[in-house]
Amino acid sequence: MVRIERDRQFRAAIFDLDGTLTDTRSIWQHLHEKFGTLDVGRRTAEMYHDGRIDYVEWARLDAACWKDISLVDLLPALSEIRYTPGAPGLMEQLRNHGIRTGIVSAGLSILADKAKVDLNADLVISNELKVSNGVLTGEVVVRVGPGNKEAVIEEAAWLLGADMKETIVVGDNLFDLPRSAGLKVAFKPVTIQARAAADVVLEGDDIRAVADHIFQ
C-alpha cells in the first residue's frame, strides 16, 4: 500500500461504475436476468472469452437481445441497482476539495448517465444502447471496452483538465487502473492482477475509505 505525500495535488478522480460505484457487477448481466435473455448472454460471453468474437461483436449480440424493449420497461430494472455505500458522500467530498469527477464504464449509458446525475459527476463515457421513439433498436455504440479503457480514461482525465499524475483512478479490474495514474485504488478487486497493480487495495464495502488515502 502506497503512502501519499501530503502535498500531492490531485485534480481529477475517475471511477469504474459496475461493481465500483454500484452494487451490480455487470449491467449487461442484470438486463439479461431481468428480460429473460440470460442463456443467450452466457453463450455470447463464452464466445467472447474463448476468443471466437471480439468485444464489439459481443456487445452487438447482447444489445440485439433487447430490441423493441421500451425505456419505460427499463426503468424498474435500473431502479433495483443501488449505489455502493458511501458513493454519494465520496463524490461530494471530492468536489468540495476541487477534484473533478468522471465515470468511465464498459457498461451502458442507461445506467452511467443516471449515475452522472445522481452522483453529480462532471463527466461520463460509456456504451450507448440506441433508442428510437422510446424503444431500444437493438443496436449499440461501443465506446469503452477492456482493450481501450486505459486510453479512454486518459482522454477523460484530459477532458477534466488533469494529467494522469494528477488523477486518481478507482476500479475493481486491471483495465480500470492505468499505470500512469497518480493514485490507483483497487476497490474490492475481482482479479489478482488488479490487486497487484494498485497502490491501495480496499476490501470494505464503504467506498468513502478512498478519501483516507487522498486527504491525510
For the cut 60, the answer to whether the pLDDT of residue 6 exceeds it is no
Q: How far apart are alpha carbons 55 and 155 in whole angstroms?
A: 20
Across the chain, what does the average pLDDT equal?
94
> Span 52-68, mean pLDDT?
96
- Cell 454500484 belongs to 22
> Span 201-205, mean pLDDT?
96
The predicted-structure confidence for 141-158, as pLDDT tens digits, reads as follows 999 999 999 999 999 999
Helices (H), 65-216: 71-79, 87-96, 109-119, 149-159, 192-197
Report phi then psi at 13, rounded to 5.
Answer: -135, 125
Q: Is the pTM of this model over 0.85?
A: yes
Q: Which band of pLDDT confidence, cut at 50, 70 and 90, is reported for residue 7? A: very low
pLDDT at 18: 97
Report phi then psi at 64, rounded to 5.
Answer: -65, -25
Q: Which band of pLDDT confidence, cut at 50, 70 and 90, is reported for residue 215? A: confident
Q: What percent of the chain has pLDDT over 70?
A: 96
pLDDT at 155: 98
3-state secondary structure of 36: coil
pLDDT at 9: 86
Q: Which band of pLDDT confidence, cut at 50, 70 and 90, is reported for residue 2? A: very low
Q: How far apart are alpha carbons 182 and 199 in whole angstroms?
A: 9
- CATH architecture of the domain formed by 12-24+83-213: 3-Layer(aba) Sandwich (3.40)
pLDDT at 183: 97
Q: How far apart are alpha carbons 37 and 19 in whole angstroms?
A: 21
pLDDT at 8: 62
Axis-axis angle for helices 27-34, 71-79 (nearest 10): 110
Residue type, 154: E
Q: Which band of pLDDT confidence, cut at 50, 70 and 90, is reported for residue 44? A: very high
For the cut 90, the answer to whether the pLDDT of residue 21 exceeds it is yes
